[in-house]
Structure 1
Amino acid sequence: MPLHPERLAETFVRLCEIDSPSRREGRLAVFLKGLFAAEFNAEILEDDSAGATGSDTGNLVVRIGGRDGIRPPFFCNCHLDTVEPCAGVKVRRIGDTFTSTGPTVLGADDKAGIAMLIEMARCLKDESRLQVPLEFVFTTCEEIGLLGAKRFDFSLLRASSGYALDSAGIDLAVIAAPAANHFTALIQGLAAHAGLHPENGINAIQLASLAVAAIPLGRLDKDSTANIGLITGGKATNIIPEQVRIEGEVRSHSAKKLARYTAAIEDEFRLAIDRHGVLPREISGPGRRRAQLEFLVEEQFPAMALDQDDPVLQRLTRAAALLRRQLRFTVAGGGSDANIFSAQGLPTAILGTGMTDVHTTEESITLKAMVRTTELLLALARQDPA
């Protein structure tokens, strides 16, 4: 039986209007547990990641058993959380297009994907073609650093590869995404009265400004980007600022470039302090006469890269051929749960769902796009995945 567009639309609206900001995905998790248990008698597993992520629920794995117990399942992944502002979402539908009615995001990122998985399972059940077991993985806290995926209990999965529904565009698959480092530069200068004894101070904000001005930002090369997004420091205008905190990121598809660009940023901060962060000997001030730097680097997520001959992409190509479609394989600049799954030895391609203007109050999606991606999911399930 064909899929039911209006049923898909109704499910999507219902999901969007369940609040699920990062770390408060519990209401949506309860809804999904009830739906999959009632309609599919699914096996529903929840890991113990909540203690580490701070969410009010763990990650969920939903297993819907097919009649074929020989062929391995593939998994599909969506995240449960949405970015702020997302409290009290009300969906507006004009013709084929869905948007939010108020000053909130719509939540198509990633609830469009969840709705598609529900419709996929319903279609397969309706036509009694639920041959291959399905595994759906719903993660928490994706929007605040892929925290749920990082803490996911991978022993719960039986599938060895899968698809994450978490990209803009239609009829495309993301096959590579960069690794990212988050860096924090903490500069400790010297406080002094800005009017009485400014020569006794070392201005931490000024040192940070000199370093930031020297750091290349934006697109560094075809593989790499860098950004500084947060600067905080200072207490009052009449105090030489003693501390400043700078946070940024470096991304690259090349591990060597990622390390090199991250080290170069640290070098610029140290150079600014060496040149401008030392009090002259003749100034009588505090005992410490030099600014100090603490530079912290944290891996946000590893790189993801799939080969064209990888079975997960071959299966996707066959599914597109069944629909007489040509898929576009592309490289992304952002990270997703697929980075984490792939790094764990579970090759994961990212599928476009058709959502647009994500992370803004202008976010939208069309029913046509959701139907088209659901058809691709059904084609994946209707073929031999081996």
Structure 2
Amino acid sequence: MHNFDINSIVDFQVAERFMRYVQIDTASDPHATSFPSTEKQKDLSRLLVSELQQMGITDAHLDKYGYVYATIPSNTDKEVPVICFCSHVDTSPDCSGKDVKPVIHAAYQGQDIVLPDDPSVIIKYSEHPDLQYQLGHDIITASGTTLLGADDKAGVAEIMDAARLLMNHPEIKHGEIKLLFTPDEEIGQGVEYVDLNKLGAAFGYTIDGEKAGTIEDETFSADGVRVIIQGISVHPGFAKGKMVSALKIAADIIADLPKDKLSPETTTGAAGFIHPTEVNGGVDKAEIGFIIRDHDTTKLMEHEAILQRIVENVVTRYPGASYTFDVKEQYRNMKEVLDQYPEVMEVGMEAIRRAGLTPERRSIRGGTDGSRLSFMGLPCPNVFAGGHAFHGKMEWVSKQDMEKAVLTILHIAHIWQER
């Protein structure tokens, strides 16, 4: 039987799709109490549903939580595990995602890339080592005043283009394939209300990684800590010997954190950290938010014990003050789950190889929807989407790398059927 050569496909639409999607503002909001955190994320989700329906994917729909579900039917007689491809529609609240103007820098030649709307924003060849792999590629950036949104609209566009190609090329044999687009990934809530029974997949792949050829099976394990300090507020004119400032206690706690280790700015590789992300309040009461991260879940408790000792030591210097220390689990290292299903990674690595790249297994100093999905029962490594310098104005992605990601998705679908 003649197998269709997936790599012979040339009618990609992924870059055009991507440039359409990034112009829709989908920033999530970490301070919102609703889900999804911003209604505008659904603007993109609704567009995805209508485009999927136009491709002939009849069950594509948006649920009340802002998830898009869709099914590409199987076209083989074989019993094949149901595979899901997943990416998130929201962009990081760290940088504006409003009025994104994508710019194509065709046939890149190794120059520094100056962004047109703010020439002080320069993507320097010397500072972005992955640019060395981009010679001759068409690089897409924002215009200098916003982020681009390659995290993760590159992944969204790649899954959408792969879906179109699977529907148009029945000669690519595959089992049933589920598509899932989530909101609020950037604020750590991405799969809060996903219905895995409805999804009905055995294994998944998030398309949310960075450099072409990479696949990630390890994330941080993550907790959040809230320290609430109760001080004593007195009129400052009559405060001698009475006032205890919660704000000053908070400042002392932050000042007493380790300077040369256990912080994001002093660690790399597998090393974890204790990171204060926000402080607010006043004399009477103050609150500090921390994120605690490590690849080794047992070390989270050690980092939290260090933090609690620091808090305890500072607060005891202020008679009359008190504190609460509240730990909340955020996500866990997906490697703990994925190691039990080695074939999921094997298929991913083989697909990258067949797409013409050298697979590179990486661990993430962060998390993905896949971390949570893996522990919810859907083992789910993270495949490259091609974006770089996420969450800021220097974000960029190559058209050719996005096309390689589309091929990788097609190969993953086909290899599961082959096996």
If the TM-score is normalised by the length of the shorter chain, which range does it land in? 0.7 to 0.9
Contact 2:69 2:181 in 1 (8 A): yes
1:12 matched to 2:18: yes
1:111 matched to 2:153: yes
Superposition map of 1:329-368 within 5 A: 329-368=361-400
Aligned twin of 2:318:
277
Matched pairs, number: 359
- What is the percentage of aligned positions where both structures have the same residue? 25
Aligned twin of 2:142:
100
Aligned twin of 1:26:
42
**TM-superposition CA deviations, 1:94-139 (whole Å, max 9, x none):** 2111111251111111111111112212222333235322211101
1:78 to 68, 71, 87: 87
1:231 to 248, 267, 279: 279
Give the residue type in structure 2 aligned to 1:298.
K
Superposition map of 1:1-386 within 5 A: 2-4=8-10, 7-22=13-28, 23=38, 24-48=40-64, 50=65, 58-68=66-76, 70-84=79-93, 85-95=96-106, 96-132=138-174, 133-145=176-188, 147-216=189-258, 217-218=262-263, 222-234=270-282, 241-274=283-316, 276-278=317-319, 290-305=320-335, 306-307=338-339, 310-385=342-417, 386=419
Offset, 1:341: 0.7
**TM-superposition CA deviations, 1:333-359 (whole Å, max 9, x none):** 101100111001211110112211110
Relative to 1, partners in 2 of residues 1:294 and 1:220: Cα closer, same or farther, differing over 3 Å? Answer: farther
Relative to 1, partners in 2 of residues 1:202 and 1:298: Cα closer, same or farther, differing over 3 Å? Answer: same
Q: TM-score, normalised by structure 1?
A: 0.87
Single out whichever of 217-226 and 188-197 deviates more from structure 2. 217-226
Offset, 1:5: 6.0
Aligned twin of 1:286:
none
In 2: Cα distance, 1:242 partner to 1:72 partner:
57
**TM-superposition CA deviations, 1:261-284 (whole Å, max 9, x none):** 11321222122112x111xxxxxx
Give the residue type in structure 2 aligned to 1:88.
D
Single out whichever of 182-191 and 124-133 deviates more from structure 2. 124-133
Aligned twin of 1:283:
none
Relative to 1, partners in 2 of residues 1:194 and 1:150: Cα closer, same or farther, differing over 3 Å? Answer: same
Relative to 1, partners in 2 of residues 1:257 and 1:211: Cα closer, same or farther, differing over 3 Å? Answer: same
In 2: Cα distance, 1:323 partner to 1:165 partner:
15
Stretches of structure 2 that go unaligned for 5 or more consecutive residues are 1-5, 29-37, 107-137
Offset, 1:324: 4.8
In 1: Cα distance, 2:143 partner to 2:230 partner:
47
Superposition RMSD in Å: 2.1
Relative to 1, partners in 2 of residues 1:107 and 1:5: Cα closer, same or farther, differing over 3 Å? Answer: farther
**SS at structure 2 position matched to 1:228:** strand
Give the residue type in structure 2 aligned to 1:277.
Y
Offset, 1:212: 2.3
**SS at structure 2 position matched to 1:77:** strand
Single out whichever of 315-324 and 77-86 deviates more from structure 2. 315-324
Offset, 1:366: 0.9
Aligned twin of 2:111:
none
In 2: Cα distance, 1:325 partner to 1:9 partner:
19
Relative to 1, partners in 2 of residues 1:220 and 1:360: Cα closer, same or farther, differing over 3 Å? Answer: closer
Contact 1:3 1:119 in 2 (8 A): no
Contact 1:20 1:81 in 2 (8 A): yes
Relative to 1, partners in 2 of residues 1:197 and 1:319: Cα closer, same or farther, differing over 3 Å? Answer: closer
**SS at structure 1 position matched to 2:280:** strand
Offset, 1:195: 4.5
In 2: Cα distance, 1:211 partner to 1:372 partner:
48
**SS at structure 1 position matched to 2:415:** coil
Contact 1:89 1:102 in 2 (8 A): no
In 2: Cα distance, 1:8 partner to 1:304 partner:
29
In 1: Cα distance, 2:101 partner to 2:376 partner:
37
**TM-superposition CA deviations, 1:134-167 (whole Å, max 9, x none):** 211101111112x230221111122211111112
Aligned twin of 1:55:
none
Give the residue type in structure 2 aligned to 1:93.
I
Aligned twin of 1:287:
none
Give the residue type in structure 2 aligned to 1:15.
Y
Relative to 1, partners in 2 of residues 1:304 and 1:130: Cα closer, same or farther, differing over 3 Å? Answer: same
Contact 1:5 1:367 in 2 (8 A): no
Q: TM-score, normalised by structure 2?
A: 0.80
In 1: Cα distance, 2:100 partner to 2:151 partner:
13
